[in-house]
Amino acid sequence: MNDILGKYKDGGINYTFRYAKKEDKRKIIEFYESMDNESIYFRFLSFYKDFSSHVEKIFGEKNKYGFAVIGEDEEKNIAALGENFSYSIDSAELAFIVSPHHRKRGLGTIVAAFLILGSYIRGIKIMEAYFHAENSPAYKIGLKMGLNMEFEEDVYHGKAPLEKIYTIALNTLKEKGVQVYLDIKK
């Protein structure tokens, strides 16, 4: 697979989206460590702090169909990170976080779309997401991507067949003006 998934420009900043590699582990850990408590709480649904262990799981053998997408600015700083955890072909969990300095630029939507397309390519059947009830930007992205969002306690749980939503993700990238380099043919 091509390393570069796409390119996007917003507010004079050029962003590149690519698959994360094992060599990115330290960079991903530092990205999480740079986030404020609320961002971490919304991403992990707790005040999670064991980022090293978490990053190992991204690249671990159990995460057989999973992967991560990094959105970087021109200085190669991570601006957005998306992770897809999948232990079987049946379903995958979509999760993402955007640096406070790069929010309101559509990066969360772009990362979510690339996670959906990457999951589709891998043959995964169902995409799922869990968003804190107060994380309205993530909730809106879930709706936009076609996930059927239902409220369960303090969390919105979204779920949809990838067969039905991959075209939504592809069209969203085109509408945002993202140059897509990913070939979505299975």
> Whole-prediction pTM value?
0.94
Which pLDDT score, from 0 to 100, does residue 2 have? 55
Q: What is the DSSP code string of 43-68? A: HHSS----HHHHHHHHSSTT-TT-EE
- Cβ neighbour number for residue 119 with a 10 Å cutoff: 27
Which pLDDT score, from 0 to 100, does residue 185 have? 67
Residue 2 to residue 148: CA distance in whole angstroms: 31
Which pLDDT score, from 0 to 100, does residue 153 have? 84
Q: What is the pLDDT of residues 100-114, one digit of tens each?
A: 999 999 999 999 999
pLDDT (tens place) for every residue of the chain, 186 residues total:
458 999 999 989 999 999 999 999 999 999 999 999 999 999 998 888 899 999 999 998 888 888 999 999 999 999 999 999 998 899 999 999 999 999 999 999 999 999 999 999 999 999 999 999 999 999 999 999 999 999 988 899 999 999 999 999 999 999 999 999 988 765
Which pLDDT score, from 0 to 100, does residue 87 have? 86
User: CA-based angle 12:16:17, to the nearest 5?
Assistant: 140
Q: What is the pLDDT of residues 119-133, one digit of tens each?
A: 999 999 999 999 999
